[in-house]
C-alpha cells in the first residue's frame, strides 16, 4: 500500500497520482497543503524537511519527496518494459523526454503562466509577462508537436513515464483562458490522453479553489 501526502489540486500531485493510476497501484492519499494546511506540522517535517508536496511512502520504506524521483521510483518498482524500459539506452530515451517536459514545459507553464492567470487577481496581472511566457512555452511545445506528428506518444508509440511528465500539464494549458497557437498534433495527443481513465480521475480535476478573482 502506497501512502501519499498532497492535495489533489496540486499539479505535481496530479502527475504522481496519474502514474499510480496507470500502474494500477493501491494507495491512500492524505490532503495536505493550500487550504488543508498541515505542512508546518512536526509530523510532516519528519516526512519532508522542505515542507512541500507530494510525499510518498511505500510500505516501510523511507519517505520520498520531489516528484521526479518519486515517479522514477514507481516506474522502476512497478512499471513494465514499455512504460519504463529495462534497457539503459531505451530508458534514457524515455528519461530524456521526461526531464525535458519537466524543465521546459511544466516549469515554463506553472509559475510563469498558470499562477499569473489563475492565481493572480485580474487587476494585478502582468499581461506583457504573460504574453512573453506563452510565447516561450509554445516554442517548446512546437518541438513536442513535431515529434507527435510522427509518434503517438512523446517517447514512442506507447505511453511512458515521459507522457506523465508532459501530459499532466496540458489539461490546464488547454483549460485556462489564454491564446494558444494551433498545434494540431499536440492537440490530438492531448485529446487521446483525456480518454484514459486514470487521466480523467487524477488530472482533469477542477481548480476553482486556486482561483483569485
Alpha-carbon span 146 to 64, nearest angstrom: 35
Q: What pLDDT score does 135 carry?
A: 98
Q: What pLDDT score does 213 carry?
A: 85
- Residue 49 CB-half CA count within 13 A: 0
Name the burial class of residue 28, with classes exposed (0-12), middle (13-18) and buried (19+) by CB atoms within 10 angstroms of its CB. exposed
Distances in Å between the alpha carbon of 144 and those of 6, 51, 113, 128, 185? Answer: 29, 33, 19, 25, 8
Q: Is the domain defined by 88-210 classed in CATH 1.20.1050.10?
A: yes
18-33, pLDDT tens digit by residue? 999 999 999 999 999 9
Q: Which positions ≥6 away from 183 have C-beta within 8 Å?
A: 138, 141, 142, 144, 145
Q: What pLDDT score does 48 carry?
A: 98
- 2-78 and 88-210, same CATH topology: no
Sorted by where each begins, the domain ranges of the chain are 2-78, 88-210
Domain 2-78 carries which CATH code?
3.40.30.10
Distances in Å between the alpha carbon of 121 and those of 41, 115, 172, 188, 211? Answer: 30, 10, 18, 32, 8
> Do 121 and 210 touch, CB atoms closer than 8 A?
no
Q: What pLDDT score does 59 carry?
A: 96
At 191, list the grid cell. 485529446
Low pLDDT (below 50) residues in the chain: none
pTM here?
0.95
Amino acid at each position: 500500500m502506497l501512502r501519499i501526502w498532497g492535495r489533489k489540486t496540486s499539479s505535481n500531485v496530479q502527475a504522481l497520482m496519474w502514474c499510480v493510476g496507470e500502474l494500477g497501484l493501491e494507495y491512500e492519499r492524505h490532503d495536505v497543503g493550500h487550504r488543508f494546511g498541515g505542512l508546518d506540522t512536526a509530523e510532516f517535517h519528519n516526512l519532508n524537511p522542505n515542507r512541500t508536496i507530494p510525499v510518498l511512502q511505500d510500505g516501510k520504506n523511507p519517505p520520498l519527496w520531489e516528484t521526479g524521483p518519486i515517479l522514477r521510483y514507481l516506474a522502476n518498482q512497478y512499471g513494465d518494459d514499455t512504460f519504463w524500459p529495462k534497457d539503459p539506452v531505451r530508458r534514457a530515451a524515455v528519461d530524456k523526454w521526461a526531464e525535458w517536459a519537466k524543465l521546459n514545459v511544466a516549469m515554463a507553464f506553472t509559475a510563469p503562466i498558470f499562477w499569473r492567470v489563475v492565481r493572480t487577481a485580474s487587476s494585478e496581472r502582468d499581461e506583457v509577462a504573460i504574453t512573453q511566457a506563452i510565447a516561450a512555452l509554445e516554442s517548446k511545445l512546437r518541438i513536442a508537436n513535431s515529434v507527435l506528428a510522427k509518434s503517438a506518444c512523446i517517447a514512442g508509440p506507447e505511453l511512458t513515464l515521459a507522457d506523465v511528465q508532459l501530459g499532466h500539464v496540458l489539461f490546464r494549458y488547454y483549460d485556462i483562458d489564454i491564446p494558444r497557437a494551433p498545434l494540431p498534433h499536440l492537440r490530438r495527443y492531448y485529446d487521446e490522453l483525456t480518454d484514459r481513465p486514470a487521466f480523467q480521475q487524477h488530472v482533469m480535476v477542477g481548480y476553482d479553489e486556486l482561483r483569485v478573482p
